[in-house]
Amino acid sequence: MRTWRRIILGVVILGGAGVAYWKLAIPKHRVEVESELVMLGDLDGDRRWTGADARLLEGFVAAPASATSPLAWRLDLNRNGLVDEEDRRILTALVAAGGDPYAAEEAARTAGGPFPRPRELYRYVSLSEYLPRPGWAIAYPGAKDSVLGWLADWPMPAGGGTYAQALDAAIYDEALRFDGAWRRRAPGLLPEERAYAERKLARLEALRRAGDRFELLLALMELVEDAETLTVQGQPAWSLKLLAFRDHLREVQASPLMADFAAGRSDWRPVLAAVSAHLRADLGLAYDFETLGPPRNLTDLEAYLQRGEWQYYKTTAREADFRALIGWAQHDPRYLRAVSRTSRRLQDPRVENHNLPMVLLYREALRLVGGDRKRAVGLLDETIRIPFGWIKSIPRESLPGSLALDNFLLPGNMEDGADKSRHWNVFGGISLYKSPQEALDLALKRELQDLKDERYSAEAMREFFRDMIANLNGMYHVMAVNPALLKP
């Protein structure tokens, strides 16, 4: 027996020593970083610079948005953050030299011009590293007949420059992306989709004429997201009416009824009676807010089962997806522009600062999980909590007083924190697990309960409308985004 104990003890010691050596003595195993060697300008993945790469580039010149983000990153051969004419010339020279970077460099020097050293044309890139998509700075042939009549005259982006020039470059890039999406979608648009697009295009033109570059950029991004992800086809008519109801809630917010309530000249009943009237007119639903019941039925077994499924998707979210989504939120230029739209305290009653960045977050989560809506909602629900944990670990005196404590990566204003983001995602998720109708019913009951708990105060009424707008935005977009339309 002692012999066996000694053998077992020896095996355990040797095994432990082997694992320790494997983990601690071999540097590759101590640092969990996996990288790949990227050959800039190699667009077809054959590890050579050939005419096929040059032809692919010319195809992207005709349709810049058709280049996936990883391919666009490989096209930035001079590493200035733009795909420009110099990148085009470098790739052309490499192809002309038969794919030999030394020969291409010698030819350029003979002609008296600079050229990247061969080693500069390769990059080791961590598989978890976020690779920003470079801007586009090559003349776009479609500009002359674009639906955006001003595109042909927009200044061509240049490297470096001022904040204003950076905004112009981002607008140009977004305009190219929208033009490509419009050309794909325009022939098959339904009448209501075309009318919706025309209203947004008219707003674009008004912003351009007013010279409001930042809002012009965000309005373009909204159009791009609509064109690349949304379609009325296949959507139940009822879910589309959610947006009409949302817009009517915004009208009630700005109505004399709301002003009289806020000033104490009337109670809450006329305001919620107007909401009831819109529910009936827009959605065919009858709600009496004076007699509306509680938000949860504790005897409903199906609700518990669905909650269990929701928790399953949250807890099974992969660490790699967390890291990728957080890295994206920290670095993606489009998201950082969208999430930067904030207002002074209590100056965003219509929750207009919030929806676009949430759409972008949800789209990226959906891409990471392969188009599975439930997994995307679960990943997003868990990720929303992470910045809150980070901020709580920072001493309060070290935080800026002008921004929310828990939403450095999340949309919204100081008074919102992560609240509106969770509303958007949670009720979007309920639309998946139940239905948009049941999600709306639960949202109305929950927000009314909060209003009752706060004794129908003016502040609580303001948040009733703001929460409902965030709920409706999430319900519509989580249901309406078509994974088949998504592109990298």
Kindly indicate the confidence band of residue 125, based on its pLDDT and cuts at 50, 70 and 90.
confident
75 φ/ψ angles, rounded to the nearest 5 degrees: -75, -20
In this predicted model, what pLDDT tens digit does every residue of 160-203 receive, in sequence order?
Answer: 678 899 999 999 999 999 999 999 999 988 888 899 899 999 99
Question: How confident is the model at residue 7, as a pLDDT?
Answer: 66
In this predicted model, what pLDDT tens digit does every residue of 195-223 receive, in sequence order?
Answer: 989 999 999 999 999 999 999 999 999 99
Show the tokens assigned to 163.
């904040």
What is the biggest distance separating any 2 CA atoms in the chain, rounded to whole angstroms?
92
Kindly indicate the confidence band of residue 395, based on its pLDDT and cuts at 50, 70 and 90.
low
- Residue with the bigger pLDDT between 339 and 127: it is 339
In this predicted model, what pLDDT tens digit does every residue of 427-486 receive, in sequence order?
Answer: 999 988 888 899 999 999 999 999 999 999 999 999 999 999 999 999 999 988 877 766
Question: How confident is the model at residue 314, as a pLDDT?
Answer: 80
CB-CB neighbours of 375 under 10 Å: 21
User: Shortest CA distance to 471 belongs to which of 425, 408, 409, 433?
Assistant: 425
Q: Residue 279 belongs to what H/E stretch?
A: helix 269-283
Determine whether 315 is exposed, middle or buried from the number of CB atoms within 10 Å of its CB (0-12, 13-18, 19+).
Answer: exposed
Per-residue pLDDT, averaged over 66-84, amounts to 93
Least confident range from 224-233, 283-292, 394-403: namely: 394-403
CB-CB neighbours of 207 under 10 Å: 18
Q: Is the pLDDT of residue 391 over 80?
A: no
Which residue in the block uniquely carries the two structure tokens 């920290």? 330
Between the ranges 236-240, 277-281, 299-303, 482-486, where is the mean pLDDT highest? 277-281
Kindly indicate the confidence band of residue 247, based on its pLDDT and cuts at 50, 70 and 90.
very high
- E-strand stretches of 86-132: 122-126
Kindly indicate the confidence band of residue 235, based on its pLDDT and cuts at 50, 70 and 90.
confident
Q: What is the mean pLDDT of the chain?
A: 85
Least confident range from 208-217, 225-234, 248-257: namely: 225-234
In this predicted model, what pLDDT tens digit does every residue of 286-312 receive, in sequence order?
Answer: 999 998 888 765 445 455 456 677 787
Domain ranges of the chain: 35-129, 149-229, 257-485
User: Shortest CA distance to 174 belongs to which of 193, 202, 146?
Assistant: 146
Q: Residue 136 belongs to what H/E stretch?
A: strand 135-137
Residue 371 CA to residue 318 CA, distance in Å, equals 15
Calculated CA dihedral for residues 204, 207, 209, 211, nearest 10 degrees: -140
Residue 224 CA to residue 221 CA, distance in Å, equals 5
Residue 30 CA to residue 21 CA, distance in Å, equals 10
Q: Residue 171 belongs to what H/E stretch?
A: helix 163-185
171 φ/ψ angles, rounded to the nearest 5 degrees: -65, -45
Per-residue pLDDT, averaged over 352-368, amounts to 91
All residues at 6 or more sequence positions from 232 whose CB lies less than 8 Å from its CB, including other chains:
190, 192, 193, 240
Contact in structure between 171 and 216 (CB atoms under 8 Å): yes
Question: How confident is the model at residue 28, as a pLDDT?
Answer: 46
Residue 48 CA to residue 66 CA, distance in Å, equals 22
Contact in structure between 157 and 173 (CB atoms under 8 Å): yes
